[in-house]
Amino acid sequence: MTHPGKQRTVLLAVREGHVDPRLLNSALALCRRLEADMEILVKAGSATPPPEMDDFLDTLRAAGLPFSLEVKPRLRRRDLVDYANAHEHIAAVVIDSREGWEALAQDRSSDPWKHLACPLVTAASQEKKQH
């Protein structure tokens, strides 16, 4: 199933160990509002997505929402920004938090998120945002 008109896609970036139902539900709700497909990039140590994502993937399939899924052992903020900026159909990027994607940037004043050409949505749970 594809949406009529120009293809729009929400890019959901998930990190193993940071799979939060609020993050997944926010991405799904955004796709529905924008009538967009979903691309999911997962940073994980194995070739399969974390088991915490199984129900969410089943929900996407049941809803008939077009999506793609790619699991990567390494995924940095800059990778996400570069990918989103290189694909004009990316309407928004959804992540759990701006922090924690890398231990430390070489240049601490550089913030790749500032160069993102589309909206960035952070959707961590309230408890996690306070830490």
- Domain boundaries in the chain? 9-125
Phi, psi dihedrals of residue 129, rounded to the nearest 5°: -70, -25
pLDDT of the residue at 103: 57
pLDDT of the residue at 130: 43
The model's pTM? 0.85
pLDDT of the residue at 1: 41
Name the percent of the chain lying above pLDDT 70: 85
Question: What pLDDT digit, counting tens, does each position of 50-72 carry?
Answer: 999 999 999 999 989 999 999 99
Superfamily classification of domain 9-125: HUPs (3.40.50.620)
Closest CA to 42 of 59, 24, 62: 24
Question: What pLDDT digit, counting tens, does each position of 15-39 carry?
Answer: 999 898 899 999 999 999 999 999 9
Is the per-residue pLDDT at 106 higher than 70?
no
What is the Cα–Cα distance from 44 to 125, expressed in whole angstroms? 20
pLDDT of the residue at 7: 85
C-alpha count within 13 angstroms, C-beta hemisphere, residue 2? 7
DSSP state of 116: -
DSSP state of 6: S
Q: Are 34 and 91 contacting, i.e. CB atoms less than 8 angstroms apart?
A: yes
In DSSP terms, which residues pair with 70 in a beta bridge? Answer: 41
